[in-house]
Amino acid sequence: MIQSSGMQKTLKAPIHCRGIGLHSGAHIEMVLRPAAPDTGIRFYRSDLNTEIAADWRNAVDSPLCTTLANAKGVSVGTVEHLMAAFAGLEVDNAVVELDGPEIPAMDGSASPFVFLIECAGLVGQDAPRRVIRVLKPITVGTPGQSAALVPNDRFSVSFAIDFTSSAIRRQELTLSPCPATFKHELCAARTFGFLDEVERMREAGLARGGSLDNAVVIAGDRVLNEEGLRYDDEFVRHKMLDALGDLYLAGAPLLGHFHGTRSGHALNRQLLAALFADRSAWRFGSAELPAAAVA
């Protein structure tokens, strides 16, 4: 997604929220703040007075979410939904201040973050927006579980998932995200998990803040949430949402097509590492393209 002006954007004003970390269970206060041109997205742990850049090189191995850590070993977890909101609304520069180890889960989607950003408002900045143009195909994983980027004249995403549970089964979707499409087709899709996995996750120190308020929970072939699903194919839409947030760790919008097959955060990280390891596979380009061309 590219703003038609081709210029960078940040928030007009700070905005505050609080919530529970999905995996840590910690009560977190968070403030989204404006930032100067070329700052990018940065996380500031106010409890430890240290900063972590939203950069794929800072991503560390972390089950079930995307976690960033700096050279001091300070981390911030579950950044993918907020990063997806920044990507979807074309926010180039912001400082995310928080007093704990994880982004609040809110309702398990990016929708509350979209609401916060829109309440704060956006402002154009006197600096051009750049994109990262994919020049040749890059694939990681296996034929049955893979993530790929291929050259394309705009940013687009396709995803396929396949589960034995009849609540999900096989779902496939392709979208070319722009702010309007992101808001209506992706941002409200919630994270999901299976009831029989919850106890194992909690024993492993995960999902301590998880509940039916911030995740879709599946038991066998049933969705346990009383309100049901927000989209018939909410599961694949959430996987696309995660990928959008993970890919924004590239440091600029990508110009190319992403395809995921039963992939997740680990493969998304590996894909960016593989892309940037091959200097002939990408180059910076101008953002002077029609709106909705890049995410």
Task: Name 188's Cβ contacts closer than 8 Å, sequence gap at least 6.
Answer: 109, 110, 111, 230, 231
CA distances from 134 to 188, 213, 233 (A): 28, 38, 29
Residue 153 backbone dihedrals phi, psi, to 5 degrees: -85, 0
Say which residue the tokens 């398990």 belong to. 108
Segment (H or E) for 30: strand 27-34
Question: Please, what sign has the CA dihedral across residues 190, 99, 60, 244?
Answer: positive
Q: How far is it, in rounded angstroms, from Cα 178 to Cα 155?
A: 9
**237, 88 Cβ separation under 8 angstroms:** no
Please tell me whether residue 27 adopts helix, strand or coil conformation: strand
**253, 6 Cβ separation under 8 angstroms:** no
Is 23 a catalytic site residue? Answer: no
CA distances from 132 to 11, 97, 189 (A): 23, 27, 27
Q: How far is it, in rounded angstroms, from Cα 282 to Cα 198?
A: 40
Query: What region does 47 belong to: left with phi over 0, alpha with psi -120 to 50, or beta?
Result: alpha
Q: How far is it, in rounded angstroms, from Cα 60 to Cα 200?
A: 22
* Catalytic positions, written as ranges: 265
